[in-house]
Amino acid sequence: MHLQFQREREREMENGKCNGGTAARSPVIKFTKLFINGNFCDAVSGKTFETVDPRNEEVIAMIAEGDKEDVDLAVKAARFAFDHGPWPRMTGSERARLMHRFADLIDQNIEELAFLDAVDAGKLFETGKIMDIPAVSGRLRYYAGAADKIHGEVLKMTRPSLFGYTLKEPIGVVGIITPWNFPSIIFAMKVVPALAAGCTMVVKPAEQTPLSALFYAHLANQAGIPDGVINVVTGFGPTVGAAISSHMDIDKVSFTGSTEVGRKIMQAAAASNLKDVSLELGGKSPLLIFDDADIDKAVDLALLGNFYNKGEVCVASSRVFVQEGVYNSLVKKLVEKAKDWTVGDTFDPTARQGPQVGRRQFEKILSYIDQGKREGATLLCGGNAIGDKGYYIEPTIFVDVTEDMKIYQDEIFGPVMSLMKFKTVEEGIEMANNTRYGLAAGIVSKNIDLVNRVSRSIRAGAIWVNCYYGFDVDCPFGGYKMSGVGQDSGLEALHSYLHVKSVVTPLHNSPWL
Ligand code: NAD
């Protein structure tokens, strides 16, 4: 593993010869202000904060630093748009038409959006172009297709004198709080179904990665989505995030982030207006590799499950359990292949792993690696920072990890894999479930009976068999245990932005109705 961020390649990019292309050469940041009621504006306080490029630790732009007063203004705009504006009153197909237009504009700006996430979050530019940004426009088209199919049902009442039916109505003003690891996809996972449902919203992107959310707000505006429907307030968690979670005029908060902050949001919702809350939280997901597994495939999945997006993935398979019959051969292959997992600049098309998002995360990961060594785990490979500029860390693998160690229990959120051996199927299941989290799990085996049994025994919201990261917009995604409440994706997500109202009327004159 080696850092490929060489001067030569930088020069190639400057000359437009390598795939960094046009976007890499034109780092123009167009939107840095809050977006409220269809306009970009300064924060009431006039304050700004820095957003930093994790490749080189340089400031990319100064961003408006919102606070409680700005959240109040954004909620006022969203409330007005919900209570009096056209968006919730349009037909589903009218909303769908504007959502398709929004999707088309995203497709026309893929390079620029992928560029923003690459410099803000350290995400690979090529991956952004082919996966993250198309996933946003794809999600708009999926939910646009559902926007005109939202309907209640006629009820079969037990009392024959009554006629009853249900209406599905948008839940109202939604507060959306997102993390920094997938700035585009997680923005879309929440904003898009809420749009289709007819809600209006106030979005707070993570302070580390505010750039793409502001660009999406601009594109939504260009597409004709009415003023006040999407508002973006950039700033910090304890100010902007806390003001959203405790706001009396917000009807639901949809949050993705750490379990610790999720708990605060639930408490704030309970202490204010008992708003609906959905939480997508942390994870410490297991990948179970059984004796009959295809070893090459298992090795590839373990690497992908841990080092994709530099391990900054809520569902990363950071605990890999290997059955004893294949343990030695798998470890050997894993170490060989991990050495080829290239770390490099986000614009380098040969890099498979970019820099960690920021200094705090970088230091946190390195301190977990130190702790793993101190607690007695054996470092098989990696374990160090790379270079003296930027937040690059080697893909790291520990063996001899035991259940009491912090690296086994805590979410590290970096390129750090822990490998454990198990004997029987029961033991593997028990070890996999020994965590406070329950977000996802992977199973590698050719035995269908075994796969069925293990899939049903793991307490996690997503099970991926002979694959990893089996995400799809049609596939509901949500955690068990302390990994969350509620679901993103699929029609479940759309329904989470809808209220069910029942309407009852008598069929005949009744003395008491
Ligand atoms: P974080 O919880 O620190 O921050 C997430 C968001 O919450 C940010 O926008 C932040 O500003 C805001 N926030 C912070 N304090 C707040 C407060 N008191 N009130 C309201 N909002 C507040 O998480 P992070 O470091 O940005 O992201 C990493 C975490 O997110 C990891 O735990 C990861 O597992 C989780 N995550 C989960 C999923 C999922 O789908 N389950 C997806 C991605 C990330």
Using the mean position of ligand 1's atoms as its centre, give its distance from the Cα of residue 57 in Å.
22
Calpha distance 286→430 (Å, rounded): 11
For residue 484, which atom of ligand 1 is closest to its CA? 41
- Note the CATH architecture for domain 286-472: 3-Layer(aba) Sandwich (3.40)
Q: Which ranges constitute the DSSP H helices of 248-289? A: 259-271
Using the mean position of ligand 1's atoms as its centre, give its distance from the Cα of residue 259 in Å.
8
Using the mean position of ligand 1's atoms as its centre, give its distance from the Cα of residue 260 in Å.
8
Which residue has the CA at smallest separation from atom 13 of ligand 1? 237
Q: Within the chain, which residues score under 70 in pLDDT?
A: 1-27, 510-513
Mutate to test the pocket of ligand 1, among 314, 471, 487 (most ligand atoms within 8 A of CB): 314
Which residue has the CA at smallest separation from atom 26 of ligand 1? 179
Q: Which ranges constitute the DSSP H helices of 157-258? A: 183-197, 211-223, 242-245
Using the mean position of ligand 1's atoms as its centre, give its distance from the Cα of residue 180 in Å.
8
For residue 207, which atom of ligand 1 is closest to its CA? 11
For residue 204, which atom of ligand 1 is closest to its CA? 9
Pairing state between β 48-53 and 58-64:
antiparallel
Helix count and strand count (H, E) for the chain: 18, 23
Which residue has the CA at smallest separation from atom 40 of ligand 1? 280
Mutate to test the pocket of ligand 1, among 261, 360, 368, 482 (most ligand atoms within 8 A of CB): 261
Q: What CATH topology corresponds to 23-281+486-498?
A: Aldehyde Dehydrogenase; Chain A, domain 1 (3.40.605)
Q: What is the CA radius of gyration of the chain?
A: 24
286-289, strands of its sheet edge to edge: 378-381, 396-399, 416-422, 319-323, 286-289, 440-444, 462-465
Using the mean position of ligand 1's atoms as its centre, give its distance from the Cα of residue 437 in Å.
15
Using the mean position of ligand 1's atoms as its centre, give its distance from the Cα of residue 421 in Å.
32
pLDDT computed for residue 227 by the predictor: 98
Cβ contact 124:55 at 8 Å: no
Using the mean position of ligand 1's atoms as its centre, give its distance from the Cα of residue 152 in Å.
34
Mutate to test the pocket of ligand 1, among 123, 132, 181 (most ligand atoms within 8 A of CB): 181
**Could you give the angle at the alpha carbon of 342 between the alpha carbons of 337 and 347, nearest 5°?**
150
pLDDT computed for residue 1 by the predictor: 37
pLDDT computed for residue 513 by the predictor: 56
Contacts of 35 (CB under 8 A, 6+ apart): 41, 214, 217, 218, 221, 230, 231, 232
Q: Ligand 1 site: residues with CB under 6 angstroms? A: 177-181, 186, 204, 206-207, 236-238, 241-242, 245, 256-258, 261, 264-265, 280-283, 314, 411, 413, 439, 479, 484
pLDDT computed for residue 512 by the predictor: 58
Half-sphere exposure of 496 (CA within 13 A, CB side): 27
pLDDT (tens digit, 9 = 90+) per residue, 169-209?
999 999 999 999 999 999 999 999 999 999 999 999 999 99
- Residues annotated as part of the active site: 280, 314
The answer to pTM > 0.75 is yes
Using the mean position of ligand 1's atoms as its centre, give its distance from the Cα of residue 257 in Å.
2
Domain ranges of the chain: 23-281+486-498, 286-472
For residue 182, which atom of ligand 1 is closest to its CA? 43
Q: In this structure, what is the dihedral angle of CA atoms 278, 281, 286, 287, given to the nearest 10 degrees?
A: 80
pLDDT computed for residue 81 by the predictor: 98
**Could you give the angle at the alpha carbon of 108 between the alpha carbons of 105 and 109, nearest 5°?**
90
- Compute how many other C-beta atoms are within 10 angstroms of the C-beta atom of residue 454: 21
Cβ contact 484:186 at 8 Å: no
Contacts of 84 (CB under 8 A, 6+ apart): none
Mutate to test the pocket of ligand 1, among 63, 177, 480, 492 (most ligand atoms within 8 A of CB): 177
For residue 179, which atom of ligand 1 is closest to its CA? 26
For residue 189, which atom of ligand 1 is closest to its CA? 40
